[in-house]
Amino acid sequence: MSRYLRPWALRLALLLCAAAAIAMAFGVAVADLRKARDRQDLPALDGLIAQLKGSADAAPRSAEAQYRLALAYSYAAEVAMELHDKKKSEGYAEAGMAPARKAADENSGNAEYHRLLGEICGQVIPASPLMGTLKYGPCAKDEIDKAIQLDGNLALAYVSRGVGNYYLPSSMGGGVDLALKDFDKAIQLDPNLADAYIWKAVALRKANRDPEARQDLQKALQLDPDRVWAKDQLGKTPVH
């Protein structure tokens, strides 16, 4: 009799292990990742990545476990770029690509999963703009467009698209004006999204509209007082 029960016991054990791994991933809240990102705390993000990687490896079919690992890598890439370390940012983004793609493959109808994959593809580009754009530009555009197609009210998707338009020259179909439209759309959808105000301010400053940029950075800091990068950008924006 035991030989018939043994396969079921093994399956149960595997299911319990997967459930435990998913629970561990959920134990690292998205809020914890954001707090580390806001503080520009790469060591903290590295620790969270290690936890989430163990969970994602134990539950390779869990879209949410893969997503949280990819999000941690994306935040680390973001912070490394803010600290002017393009190569480190590229390394984090490249490491995040596989779990981001797994999440989107496992749950292809989730707009946020596609948005994150597109953002991570875009985060690889700055370290090698020409080759990066050729290799990862289509992924960044297609995945973010897919996210908006799936959920036209996903404010972060417009921020991600706006960042892409900000860096893409107008001669190649991007530019500051298009970026500003995307950031305004994100703010319309979610007036409490600090990221949208920060990036709108960066675009306004590039357009030599410093007073407006300062207003948006101050608004971002009202919404997210711990965001170190917003404080840095405010300090770099001239007072007229």
- CATH architecture of the domain 8-151 equals Alpha Horseshoe (1.25)
Q: Assess whether the region 8-151 and the region 176-240 belong to the same CATH fold.
A: yes
Q: State the pTM of this model.
A: 0.88
Q: Which residues contact 218 (CB under 8 A, 6 or more apart)?
A: 234
Mean pLDDT of 67-86: 98
Q: What confidence score (pLDDT) does residue 11 get?
A: 54
Whether domain 176-240 has CATH 1.25.40.10: the reply is yes
Percent of the chain with pLDDT over 90: 80
Other Cβ atoms within 10 Å of 20 Cβ, number: 13
pLDDT of 166-211, one tens digit each? 998 888 889 999 999 999 999 999 999 999 999 999 999 999 999 9
Could you tell me the residue ranges of all domains in the chain? 8-151, 176-240
- Residue 28 and residue 18: Cα distance in Å, rounded? 16
Other Cβ atoms within 10 Å of 204 Cβ, number: 23
